[in-house]
Amino acid sequence: MAARLIESLATTDELVELFSDESVLQAMLDFEGALARAEAGVGIIPRAAAETIMASAKAHFFDAGEISRAALRAGTLSIPLVKALTERVRVSDPDAAGFVHWGATSQDVADTALVLLLKRAQSIFERHLAGLETALRGLAEKHSNTVMLGRTLMQPAPPITFGLKAAGWLGAIQRSHQRLNASFADALVVQFGGASGTVASLGDQGIVVGQALAHGLGLIYPDAPWHTHRDRLAEVLCDCGVLAGSLGKMARDISLLMQSEVGEVVEPGVAGRGGSSTMPHKHNPIGCSLTLAATYRVPGLVTTFLSGMTQEHERGTGGWQAEWPTVAALIQSTGLAIASMTEVAEGLSVNSAKMRSNIEATRGTIFAEKAMMVLGQKLGRDTAHKLLEEATRRSIAESRRLSEVLADTPEIALHLDAERLRNLENPEEYLGVADEFRKRLLTVRERN
């Protein structure tokens, strides 16, 4: 299913389908069918009535537009949906119609339907995140020895490896993934509390029915209904926000590395992707752009959800009614970011030669720290720092290599012999424990 034009840069086809009218209606109807089955199982309603209700609880039987219009007056989708389901059942079995929605309340239907949609979203996220993590792990392994500029405050800094950079992206995304899975595990719970959250209409069988309902839907049965306690959902959405931020960091790095004057990586190019309407030479970072756009939306959506958590007593006024569009937009934005960066990582081209040439273009100035640390042992750190600052300025102003300037500076040449000066600008010899950090990041999942 294609997205509406206004949402075309904000979701994926798969997530459009997840939050489509038919999918939302079916999630609500799944609750009603499972409730009837659970109640028939303990003898609260006739089994024949339950079978009729389940057979009628199919989204294609109902007019989503009509239910949507009625919901605006009812204040919830559940009321017109239950009314429509009741009429549908009545056609087949008038007696069974009296058992539709037995003992439940409108928010039970809405909340459980939302949880069922989130459960499907988790499986979509899981598939793409698995691909993304595999691709990043491959990049980190393949480029363990690919040296590149480190960059601090957008300026050249001592070298790192691309393997370490990719492992850093992987580590953040894996940590976010683990947190999100934990919050999903807590949040995938059924909602079944009846009018005031006590299921009083079912006497002492409320818990038995709730447990059977949860089992039938593949959800967890909570300690108690949670109509005005939205903390579990909030954790999922906050963790989506953190994951989106980690994906955005990766997208920001890659889009900067793709700049023509940098030219160190390139997003995969396919027909219709990355071009310009006026400039044929362009290869734009589209996957990164879509991801960054998503990460601009997500924090505000998280805030919107959190602002609605202060709900009144046993049933809120306005708080939970505000949630569905917010949750849908947040899940779709997060899912788009995951899918986009998976595509980017799986097809990313790395130009190791350009990475090295960009190091060379600094004429060795990025190794000023290395020279300073050697000189600092002889002259003291402050004196060494001042000497290297002046030498670096001369290197830039005179377009000379730093090692040449250092060799011409008596105070420095006295302490740095010819061999040390020759090895000064070798990036492989100034990586510290970069590869150990890379390996640690690649094993973070197993270690935790």
Name the active-site residue from 8, 196, 276, 357.
276
pLDDT at 273: 55
Statement: the pTM of the whole predicted model exceeds 0.85: yes
- Specify whether 170 is located in the same domain as 210: no
How many structural domains compose the chain? 3
Read off the CATH number of the domain in which 38 is found. 1.10.275.10
- Residue corresponding to tokens 């109902």: 62
- Specify whether 263 is located in the same domain as 142: yes
Q: Is 4 an active-site residue?
A: no
Over residues 417-432, the mean pLDDT reads 88
pLDDT at 280: 44
- Whole-number Å distance between alpha carbons of 292 and 258: 15
Residue 221 lies in a domain: no
Residue 109 lies in a domain: no
- Specify whether 10 is located in the same domain as 119: no
pLDDT at 423: 84
Residue 198 lies in a domain: no
pLDDT at 279: 41
Read off the CATH number of the domain in which 397 is found. 1.10.40.30
pLDDT at 445: 54
Q: Residue 282 pLDDT > 50, yes or no?
A: no
- Whole-number Å distance between alpha carbons of 79 and 259: 54
Q: For residue range 182-219, list pLDDT tens digits in order.
A: 999 999 999 999 999 999 999 999 999 999 999 999 99
- Specify whether 83 is located in the same domain as 146: no
- Specify whether 299 is located in the same domain as 284: yes
Residue 14 lies in a domain: yes
The residue type of 204 is D
Helix (H, G, I), strand (E, B) or coil at 410: helix
Q: For residue range 319-378, list pLDDT tens digits in order.
A: 999 999 999 999 999 999 999 999 999 999 999 999 999 999 999 999 999 999 888 888
Over residues 271-296, the mean pLDDT reads 72
Read off the CATH number of the domain in which 345 is found. 1.20.200.10
Name the active-site residue from 90, 315, 400, 445.
315
Phi, psi of 123 (to 5 degrees): -65, -35
Helix (H, G, I), strand (E, B) or coil at 117: helix
- Specify whether 447 is located in the same domain as 303: yes
- Specify whether 28 is located in the same domain as 119: no
Over residues 399-416, the mean pLDDT reads 88
- Specify whether 414 is located in the same domain as 448: no
- Specify whether 276 is located in the same domain as 294: yes
Q: Is 315 an active-site residue?
A: yes
- Specify whether 321 is located in the same domain as 246: yes
> What is the extent of the structural domain holding 255?
114-189+226-361+434-448
Q: For residue range 5-34, list pLDDT tens digits in order.
A: 889 899 999 999 999 999 999 999 999 999
Residue 197 lies in a domain: no
- Specify whether 160 is located in the same domain as 294: yes
- Specify whether 127 is located in the same domain as 96: no
Q: Which residue has the higher pLDDT, 4 or 138?
A: 138
